[in-house]
Structure 1
Amino acid sequence: MRRLFHNRSTDPWEVVDAKAVEPVSAYTDEEIEDMEIMRVHSQTLHGTYMFDLKTGADLRRAVVFARQRLLQEAAEKEYNLFLTEGWSVTQFRKGKRHRAEVRYVARPAYAVTKKLRTPPPPFLAMLGGKESL
């Protein structure tokens, strides 16, 4: 029997691009010295998130969102910052549709500090687009 219509749901997602940043320190040595680190989680937290994309800037926003979501999960366990952070992004395409899988990894800690600075995800410039989100 001949197939008259092409079923788009069976088309596979094609990998278009992949980038990764290994976990690096989120704070400078001076900033860490100014903190009173009370406890550090015994394991690295991992989060995997899927996003449908419309523009390239959406890719940067997806990484920022993944970081915020993982930080919320850490806050539920009573941690308030990440000592180390890293991420990977895999971009997919199916026809005109674009999707990204963001995997975010971080080592949460609880610290007392006068100025708690929340840095952006490391090396976001690798993804191109605007510098500020």
Structure 2
Amino acid sequence: MTRPRVEAQRTIRLVSHEGESFDTDLLAATTSGYIKEYLQENGDMPEEEQQTAVISLPFVRSPILSKILTWAQHHKAEPEAVLQQEMSAWDAEFLNMDGTTLLELAMMAYLLDIKGLLEMTAAAVAKGIMMEH
């Protein structure tokens, strides 16, 4: 299932566990099924370009939310089918991080329902485990 195309100018403000705010466009934010569903259920979908919806994510630490948004900005225009293909060089470099951070990123991708990121982090974790043995 592909995400509907929406105007990228609308702003979503995500607030991390530490209270840090991250502004992103609606298209990047809705790479997350959790955020998309939240906006639909709460009627918080910004109607006009000047409006900003604010979503608190108290279970996501700022460094991880920053990484998620970097990934979402890079992949926001790609259909889910493209994300399920082989990992790109950009993704391999993006996922080049310590194991603890990678596991936390995978867990947050799961909780936020970001399928493409979850699949990529799971593959990177599995590859790391296989390389250790």
TM interval, shorter chain, is under 0.3
The answer to which structure has the higher helix fraction is 2
RCO higher in 1 or 2 (8 Å CA, sep ≥ 6)?
1
TM-score (norm 2): 0.26
